Amino acid sequence: MAKFSLYKWFKNVSIAHKLYSVVGIMAVLIAFELGTLYFAMNTLSSVRAFVGAEGLWSKSQKDAVYHLQQYSQTDSEEDLQAFYHFMKVPMGYHKTLSELNKTDLDLNVARQGLLEGRSHPDDTDGMIKLFRRFKDISYIHESINIWAEADATIAELMPIAEKLHAEINSPSPSQDKLDEIIQEIEPINQKLTLLEDDFSYTLGEGARWLENTILALLLAIALTVEFSGLILTYFVVRGISKGLKEIRSASKGIGKRDFSVRAKVFSNDEIGLLAKSFNDMTAELSDSIQKQLQSSQDLEAKTKFIEESERRIVRIMEALTKTTQFDFSEKLTISDRADELDVIAAGLNTMSEELEYHLKQLKQSEEKLNDAQHLAHIGSWEWNIVNNTIEWSDELYRIYGMSREDFEANYENYIECIHPDDREYVNNIIQKSYQDHQPFDFFHRLLLPNGDERTLHGRGEVFLNNEGEIIRMNGTAQDVTEEKEIEKKLNQYNIELETKNRDLESKTNFIQENEKRIVRIMEALIKTTQLDFSEKLTISDRGDELDAIAVGLNTMSEELEFHLQQVKESEEKLNVAQRLSKIGNWEWDMATNKVQWSDEMFNVHGYGDERFEVTFEKAMERVLPEDVERSNERMKINIENALQSFTENSSLEFEIDPVTYTLVLPDDSRKVVQGIGKIILNTDGLPTKMVGTVQDINEQYKVEKKLNQYTIELEIKNKELAQFAYAASHDLQEPLRTISNFSKLLANKLEPYDDKDMNQYMRLITGGANRMSKRIFDLLDYSTVGKNMSKLDTDCNLVLKDVLIDLSALIEESGAEINAEKLPITLCGDLQVVFQNLISNAIKFKKEGIPPVIDISASDTGKEFLFAFKDNGIGIEKEYNDRIFIIFQRLHTRTEYDGTGIGLSLCKKIVELHGGNIWVESEAGKGSTFYFTIPKN
């Protein structure tokens, strides 16, 4: 419990209350003083009354004594009566005194006594009170004692009076006796006189003491009143002036615009409250001044901001104008405010970038499409049936060996280009497709203007209008002459195109979203950049910057719409291309397990027009279970490899080797497809997604399978044949050898007999046996050549050098001159046999008497190296140019030129095993040039 402090209370009480308190205290003190005064007056009055009463008492006592003395002399009854009469006064006081000494005082008796003592009725109460109140005061006590003695003394007069009366009235009054009695009176009288004096004196002393006491009291009270009044006033005034002083000095501070000053609050009274209010007011004032200052600063900043914003809007507008003019050279600077204008600026930058990117992408996409077509040797065409116009892609012209200038693309001319044998077949298919509205897919041959033949894979389909009439046919033609290589490239390109396409799509989405965001942000400010192209911004007639932005955005929106349309069209084209080539593409987001399939993916997997959300599991649903298992294992390995590739080369993409697998369709039919893909990692090296293509290669697979089967069979047959050739030659050699060996022995034995015929027969037998043996060896060579041919990078110069060393004897003997240019290094098997045969042939078939000159050269024709061996020999008649390459074919008799006729056929076989050609250009007597080609890969 808080201690109650009067000081504190007084300090905090209101000034009015303070003043009331001061006046109250003064009033109480004055009242007390007045009370005291009244009491003193009363007391003094009572003293006076007692003094008066003493006077009366004394007079009555004196009169009574006198009359008693008179009575003794006069014996007059009157005097006696007078005595009694005067005695009544002391008796009255006696009554009062005896009553006063009683504890249970009867005021009426006491009062009666005083009245009988002839006191004034008004004084009676005061007299009684005085004695009762002050009986312990020494003076009063003394007085009472004196009174009581006097009272007892005067009472002695009564028996004297009676004795006197009895003497007087006795039948024989004796004067002596009377005198004796009278003598008794005097001492009493004297005693009484003394007592009376004492009483008056004592009472007078008491009165004086009282007077002094009361005076002192009154003086003290008066001083207290004065002093307390002074102190209170001082306190009040000090409190007020102190508070006021604080307020005044605070006001001065405020006058000097120092709003931090505060008046000190000393109390909770009006001054304190005033100080508080003053402080509140100062604080508020300070606040409001602060606010005013702030707002003026704000105003300044806002003005600056508005000016800056206007400048930025102008810049944005300029940028917009530039962007709409496809000038992407400048980008808007983005401030660090990150406000709406920055969002617009950033948006516009992005839009401009995207637009630029789109334009680039479109160009690239077109180029890629052309490139892809070119690479894949796929030409595309569109036959607009309504206008009967055919549009051919560049590649199609290339495939057909035509140029746009000299070939008018129409159906008749198209048919003209087709190989004569296939024309009817092609015409039938196209006519059938035209009638049945069904797509077509077939292979046919072309006959190019230069006489080359090409095989094309033609695919096409029919587009109908709403009435079901044909409006156009679209198709592709693929040069499948080198199908394997092309397929690979095409697949790669398709992946690239698909990835680009996907990228484009996602970028487009990004733009749309981004712009929509800007629109949302700026909706209240400017209703603009709504990528919903159905609505255009309304331009007010104010023509201010905002209108300019609106106009710019409208233009941009139109442009964007146009370009998006173009992108869509290009996408559609790609989709058509995908459908025709049966390639679908996919993208698997590993984090969400969502797989995106292109339309063709659904087709390839046999879902037709059915569409659903694809997950990894769903994507694998129709894959043959063994293949799923295989694929999962492969996936693990691929991811490991991708991680390794990331660790080693920090490559973010990892190409997966193509894989062939089987789909099981709901009707239990199977379809072979080929998948190509790559793993994409984020910069932390975590695989995030996979993208790839799946191509329906069922038809190719069937063909390949058959081909493989044939190849295997062929290999078996070849092996058997080689085995046969080897065994045959081996077995044939044995008897032949016996003939040869023993005919030689026989010839040796017969030599001495010198029989001309016999010796010739023997020579013929030996020679025949030897030739047969050599032919059998040659045949074996021929059948086994290239059996285990492994291709290595070979320096043909070194090959030639070795051959020349081997043939050095022959060259020296014939005096041949051999001129060789620098020959290439190429990937090949053993060309030594070819070089050797061509050189030795050139020396062998020299003109009589003319030393052979052989020029050896090679040239790079791009895909292959063309070797030429030119000689100055006897030449070959044109009609035999082909025949010389056939095994055992000879143009000359054995006697003219030695040889088995195997050399060139062996050369032909070796060159052809390399995928090259060998031929001769020659005329009889004019020398020959043997050419052969070795493809680079």
Partner 1 sequence: MRKKLNCILLVDDDPDDNFFHQIIINEMNMVNTIDIARNGIEALEYLQKENCIPPDIIFLDLNMPKMNGWEFLEKYKHLSKEQKAKALIIILTTSANPEHIEKAKEIEDVTGFETKPLTKEMLTKILQEHFQNYI
* Closest to partner 1 by CB, 729 or 922: 729
Amino acid of residue 155 = A
Q: How far apart are CA 792 and CA 730, in angstroms?
A: 31
Amino acid of residue 791 = K
Q: How far apart are CA 20 and CA 602, in angstroms?
A: 104
Q: Give min distance, CB of 750 to partner 1, in A.
A: 15
Site for partner 1 contains 227 (CB under 8 A) = no
Q: What are the CA-CA distances from residue 96 to residues 30, 123, 193, 744 (Å)?
A: 36, 13, 21, 211
Q: Is the sign of the CA dihedral 882, 917, 482, 370 positive or negative?
A: negative
* Closest to partner 1 by CB, 32 or 777: 777
Q: Give min distance, CB of 763 to partner 1, in A.
A: 18
Segment near partner 1 (CB under 8 A); pick from 151-159, 356-364, 732-740, 756-764: 732-740
Which 851-870 positions form the footprint of partner 1 (CB under 8 A)?
Answer: none
Segment near partner 1 (CB under 8 A); pick from 60-68, 248-256, 529-537, 733-741: 733-741
Q: Give min distance, CB of 799 to partner 1, in A.
A: 18
Segment near partner 1 (CB under 8 A); pick from 367-375, 545-553, 602-610, 776-784: 776-784
| The token pair that represents 324 in the structure block | 């709409």
* Closest to partner 1 by CB, 227 or 742: 742
Residue indicated by tokens 């206007």: 310
Question: Residue 892 gets which letter from DSSP?
Answer: S
| The token pair that represents 152 in the structure block | 């007892």
Residue indicated by tokens 């005021």: 107
* Closest to partner 1 by CB, 539 or 745: 745
* Closest to partner 1 by CB, 241 or 748: 748
* Closest to partner 1 by CB, 175 or 741: 741
* Closest to partner 1 by CB, 405 or 734: 734
Q: How far apart are CA 790 and CA 622, in angstroms?
A: 42
Q: Give min distance, CB of 916 to partner 1, in A.
A: 23
* Closest to partner 1 by CB, 563 or 771: 771
Residue indicated by tokens 């007079």: 59
* Closest to partner 1 by CB, 60 or 729: 729
Q: In DSSP terms, which residues pair with 663 in a beta bridge? A: 623, 671
Q: Is 79:175 a contact under the CB 8 Å cutoff?
A: no
* Closest to partner 1 by CB, 564 or 746: 746
Q: How far apart are CA 111 and CA 121, in angstroms?
A: 8
* Closest to partner 1 by CB, 91 or 834: 834
Which 434-463 positions form the footprint of partner 1 (CB under 8 A)?
Answer: none
Residue indicated by tokens 């255009």: 536
Q: Give min distance, CB of 713 to partner 1, in A.
A: 23
Q: Give min distance, CB of 728 to partner 1, in A.
A: 11
Q: Give min distance, CB of 830 to partner 1, in A.
A: 11
Question: Of 316, 365, 321, whose CA–CA distance to 563 is shortest?
Answer: 365
CB hemisphere CA count around 146 (13 angstroms): 21
* Closest to partner 1 by CB, 517 or 737: 737
* Closest to partner 1 by CB, 74 or 718: 718
| The token pair that represents 23 in the structure block | 């006046």
Q: How far apart are CA 484 and CA 497, in angstroms?
A: 20
Q: Give min distance, CB of 845 to partner 1, in A.
A: 28
Question: Of 267, 263, 259, 260, whose CA–CA distance to 245 is shortest?
Answer: 263
Q: Give min distance, CB of 846 to partner 1, in A.
A: 30
How many residues bind partner 1 (CB under 8 A)? The answer is 14
Segment near partner 1 (CB under 8 A); pick from 80-88, 403-411, 565-573, 735-743: 735-743
Q: Give min distance, CB of 601 to partner 1, in A.
A: 51
Binding pattern for the stretch 702-731 against partner 1, x by CB under 8 A and - elsewhere: ------------------------x--xx-
For residue 835, how many other CB atoms are within 10 A of its CB?
25
Q: How far apart are CA 29 and CA 221, in angstroms?
A: 7
* Closest to partner 1 by CB, 65 or 785: 785
Q: Give min distance, CB of 488 to partner 1, in A.
A: 35
Q: Give min distance, CB of 752 to partner 1, in A.
A: 16
Q: How far apart are CA 30 and CA 813, in angstroms?
A: 174
Q: Give min distance, CB of 737 to partner 1, in A.
A: 6
| The token pair that represents 18 in the structure block | 């303070």
Site for partner 1 contains 850 (CB under 8 A) = no
Residues 6+ apart with CB under 8 A from 283: 262
Which 587-616 positions form the footprint of partner 1 (CB under 8 A)?
Answer: none
What is the three-class DSSP state of 390?
strand
The DSSP result for 195-260, as a single string, is HHHHHHHHHHHHHHHHHHHHHHHHHHHHHHHHHHHHHHHHHHHHHHHHHHHHHHHHHHHHHTT-TT
C-alpha radius of gyration, the chain, whole number: 76
Q: Give min distance, CB of 730 to partner 1, in A.
A: 5
Site for partner 1 contains 737 (CB under 8 A) = yes
Instruction: Single out the residue of 39, 411, 777, 782 in contact with partner 1 (rule: CB under 8 A).
Output: 777
Q: In DSSP terms, which residues pair with 867 in a beta bridge? A: 858, 932
Q: How far apart are CA 345 and CA 335, in angstroms?
A: 9
* Closest to partner 1 by CB, 297 or 748: 748
Question: Of 727, 843, 716, whose CA–CA distance to 779 is shortest?
Answer: 727
Q: How far apart are CA 125 and CA 110, in angstroms?
A: 9
Q: How far apart are CA 250 and CA 254, in angstroms?
A: 6
Which 740-759 positions form the footprint of partner 1 (CB under 8 A)?
Answer: 740-742, 745
Site for partner 1 contains 784 (CB under 8 A) = yes
Site for partner 1 contains 738 (CB under 8 A) = yes
SS (H, E, C) 653-666: EEEEEEEEEEEECC
Strands 614-615 and 594-597, how do they pair? antiparallel
Q: Give min distance, CB of 721 to partner 1, in A.
A: 15
| Footprint of partner 1 (CB under 8 A) | 726, 729-730, 733-734, 737-738, 740-742, 745, 777, 780, 784
